[in-house]
Structure 1
Amino acid sequence: MGYAFILCGTAAVIWPPIDFLLRPLDALPWAQGGIKLLIEGIIKLPVFLLTFVMPFLVVEMVAGLLGEASFIVRAYRQCWVGSDDLGNLLRSVGRWSGLRVVQWIGLIFLECDVALLIIGGICTAWIWSSEEISAQLGEGFSFWPLCILLSVCLGKWCLLTLGELMYVLLLIDGRVGYLLRLLYVIEKGGCWDRCVSLIHYLKHSRLLPSLPIVITAYDLQQVGGRAVSSSRPQAARQYSLFSHRLSDKSARLSRVKGEDHLGGSADSDALTYFSIDLGDPDPPTKRGKYVFSAFTDIIVFLVDKQVTVLTDPLLYFSLRPHLTHPSRLINLPPSQYQLTQDAMLDSGRQWNGCRKAVYWWVDEANVLRHWGIFILCGDKAADEFLVCVDHRLEICSTEPPVAWKRRPDERYPRTAALIRQKVVAA
């Protein structure tokens, strides 16, 4: 509605000079009738279109000169925010006060139709001068612009009313279906501890936009039908609810030809779940020649590769990870480290209170190589940054460095404290 008022005000300022400049056409005998209307239309219509742009260009120019801290600019911004809030308030009152559907539909679309009528009236008045309109209203051919305008307004009103009515009816049915499906996914998801830990790890790795995650109907569609959901372990069901939100496409879970894949392509290796323990919500999973200690550990390794290796420069530079070794943070010999190869080979998923992810490279029945990652910090809600240690004792930390410090243990004091607490034997 505000746009219509700005348009009317600008047109009122520009209209008289344009009409004054076009007065000499009345003295030309050949510029009469349709030719005169054509010339006026060619001149007036571009100027009319400029009225959509000029006010905002002027306002932005004035705002740039005065600065955003100016009282005038802040009042102008707040005025627009207030008008939007007023519209939202009227919509919410119309929806929740028990009014009839048609009443609040009219409340929503009244400003659109009034704006259309104002713009259409300005178009008609600008193409023809006021004297010509009064003289030609009695002739039949001058009624067609008004008829077209009224038809467009009526058609627009009917379509919007019907569409909004169908939306309301579908919204009632869809909201119930959404709640039932969400309840089913949460209940059948089982224990969420491992997946919640993975969510915080992804958040501190900048692969999830933000927390908390607001579950939408589109998220529920990604889980798949009941047959697909029941064929997956609990951790895979939970992960399918938000995997499409990840900025790294290689970590997105998808269903291709009845098999689960990471990356959304049938060219990638399918996932095979091992049900060693029927009560395990996050079972060991095989992907190609690699066997992972758990399904969620696949995502941990994919994210670690993105963070520590320059496979995604944008992610690397946004996190600015610091890669180092315990010897640069603590002055103790490796013989006093309690993080040893035996701890790496242990099949447990926890070590010294930290989450551990392990995978093995298997060729038939032979284990050729193994890798491990220990998440010292970054997989809990209270954590502020990410600290990981791999099987080579290489440390990856996203702790913000302390300015004007040169020594690694002084630039990253909290990481150094974690290494002393977790890696070094007491």
Structure 2
Amino acid sequence: MASSSSSGHNTHPPHSLGDEALQLLSDEAIKQRIDRLLREQQIDGVLTYDHNTNTTQQQQQGGAGQQQLTQRGFLESLWWVLVKGGQWAGNKPILRLARSSGRLASLPLIITSADVQQVTADKDLYLSRPEAIRQYSLFSHRLGDNMQLTRNADGRDELGEWDVVVDTQQTVPARYRFDAADPPCQHYSVYKSGNRHGSFREMVINMLALPSSSHLVSYRTGTPPSVVCNRIGDLIRQQPPVWGCRTIDYKDYYDHHSYRLVILCGDREGDEFMAYIRMIRWRDEEA
């Protein structure tokens, strides 16, 4: 039997490259590996990087007093961020919705030296977060102030100045499937006003669809036993996905009210605008 090394090909996974091996590669070789990773994870249409980083650009981005990355440093740091970030494909709907809602001017989003520096400044923090939160921290500040992920003085993550509390396998409600890479979480203010979501990415998508960034086209409400109320209730109880669209279910902080967000347009390639329906079933059965 021939050994694996006799084929002349590198049998190690392309993303398992260690720091020492990386240092032996040319800048162009690192770029090729980054490009391949983005393609293999099918996110090259929504996420890319500055291929022509130079000292002048980085001085403009980095700000006073911040140590600047060389082009080599940028490529090595970006490779580390992408590999340690895990599986990135789940960010496609987030970035497409950011574009279709007007938060981004175009796609793919170009990751810069400044973006990489702000996550590699504390590598332990980056690695301590679940994959979905880790990845979002790379570009959250590019989506607007109320979408930025920050770490407060109490050591908690905040999104839009509201606390983000990640569920563990022990604390997750029975109705949610637990995924360690993209776990269920709570998002609430100091007054305990907020929501509980089935995953971090679903929470981000819900934030992108907040009324402040939308134009209300229609609003209907009803009380039992009205036709409107019954129809909304049926749609909330219907097995997802509703109408074949991305369907996100969540609850209020106190678990009193049921919400369902159905993304009609904006999360698919080529969508030019965002459209959605948000349904609410209140505790008193009004909808």
The 1-side partners of 2:253 and 2:242 are apart by: 24
Equivalent in the alignment of 1:355: 246
**In the TM superposition, what are the counterparts of 1:292-371 in structure 2 within 5 Å?**
292-305=197-210, 308=211, 311=212, 321=215, 323-324=217-218, 340-343=235-238, 350-363=241-254, 367-371=255-259
- SS where residue 324 of structure 1 aligns? coil
- SS where residue 183 of structure 2 aligns? coil
The 1-side partners of 2:271 and 2:243 are apart by: 17
Please, which of 112, 127, 131 is the counterpart of residue 234 of structure 1? 131
Equivalent in the alignment of 2:263: 375
Q: Per-residue displacement from partner, 1:348-406 (whole Å, max 9, x unpaired)?
A: 6x44532222221233xxx211212011221111223222111159xxxxxxxxxxxxx
Q: Which runs of 5+ in 1 are unaligned?
A: 1-162, 327-332, 394-426
Q: CA offset at residue 262 of structure 1?
A: 1.4
Equivalent in the alignment of 1:149: none
Q: Per-residue displacement from partner, 1:218-257 (whole Å, max 9, x unpaired)?
A: 111232422111121111111111111123x111111223
Q: From the two aligned structures, give the one with the greater helix fraction.
A: 1
The 2-side partners of 1:251 and 1:184 are apart by: 24
The code of the aligned residue for 2:235 comes to T
| 1:234–1:281 contact (8 Å) kept in structure 2 | yes
Please, which of 265, 287, 294 is the counterpart of residue 187 of structure 2? 287
Residue 192, structure 1, aligned to residue 80, structure 2:
no
- SS where residue 126 of structure 2 aligns? helix
The 2-side partners of 1:244 and 1:294 are apart by: 20
The 2-side partners of 1:238 and 1:381 are apart by: 20
- SS where residue 105 of structure 2 aligns? coil
Q: Per-residue displacement from partner, 1:161-217 (whole Å, max 9, x unpaired)?
A: xx99xx9xxx99722221121111112222223211111011100012221111111
**Greater RCO structure (CA 8 Å; 6+ sep):** 2
Q: CA offset at residue 291 of structure 1?
A: 1.1
- SS where residue 111 of structure 2 aligns? coil
Residue 385, structure 1, aligned to residue 273, structure 2:
yes
The code of the aligned residue for 2:250 comes to Y
Q: Per-residue displacement from partner, 1:118-173 (whole Å, max 9, x unpaired)?
A: xxxxxxxxxxxxxxxxxxxxxxxxxxxxxxxxxxxxxxxxxxxxx99xx9xxx997
The 2-side partners of 1:294 and 1:251 are apart by: 16
| 1:194–1:282 contact (8 Å) kept in structure 2 | no
The 1-side partners of 2:105 and 2:89 are apart by: 20
Equivalent in the alignment of 1:215: 111
Q: CA offset at residue 304 of structure 1?
A: 1.9
Larger Rg: 1
The code of the aligned residue for 1:206 comes to G
The 2-side partners of 1:223 and 1:353 are apart by: 36
The 1-side partners of 2:232 and 2:137 are apart by: 38
Q: 1:354 to 1:182 in 2, by over 3 A?
A: same
Please, which of 72, 77, 84 is the counterpart of residue 176 of structure 1? 72
Equivalent in the alignment of 1:259: 156
The 1-side partners of 2:128 and 2:104 are apart by: 26
Structure 2-normalised TM-score?
0.59
**In the TM superposition, what are the counterparts of 1:26-425 in structure 2 within 5 Å?**
174-224=70-120, 225-247=122-144, 249-257=145-153, 258-263=155-160, 268-276=161-169, 279-288=179-188, 289=192, 290-305=195-210, 308=211, 311=212, 321=215, 323-324=217-218, 340-343=235-238, 350-363=241-254, 367-392=255-280
The 2-side partners of 1:172 and 1:271 are apart by: 31
Q: CA offset at residue 278 of structure 1?
A: 7.0
| 2:94–2:205 contact (8 Å) kept in structure 1 | yes
The 1-side partners of 2:203 and 2:112 are apart by: 25
Q: Which runs of 5+ in 2 are unaligned?
A: 1-54, 60-66, 170-176, 221-226, 282-287
The code of the aligned residue for 1:256 comes to N
Q: 1:172 to 1:256 in 2, by over 3 A?
A: closer
The 2-side partners of 1:283 and 1:184 are apart by: 23
Alignment length (residue pairs): 197
Equivalent in the alignment of 2:224: none
The 2-side partners of 1:354 and 1:203 are apart by: 18
Q: 1:260 to 1:353 in 2, by over 3 A?
A: same
The 1-side partners of 2:69 and 2:101 are apart by: 38
The code of the aligned residue for 2:246 comes to R
The 2-side partners of 1:193 and 1:281 are apart by: 12
The 2-side partners of 1:284 and 1:342 are apart by: 20
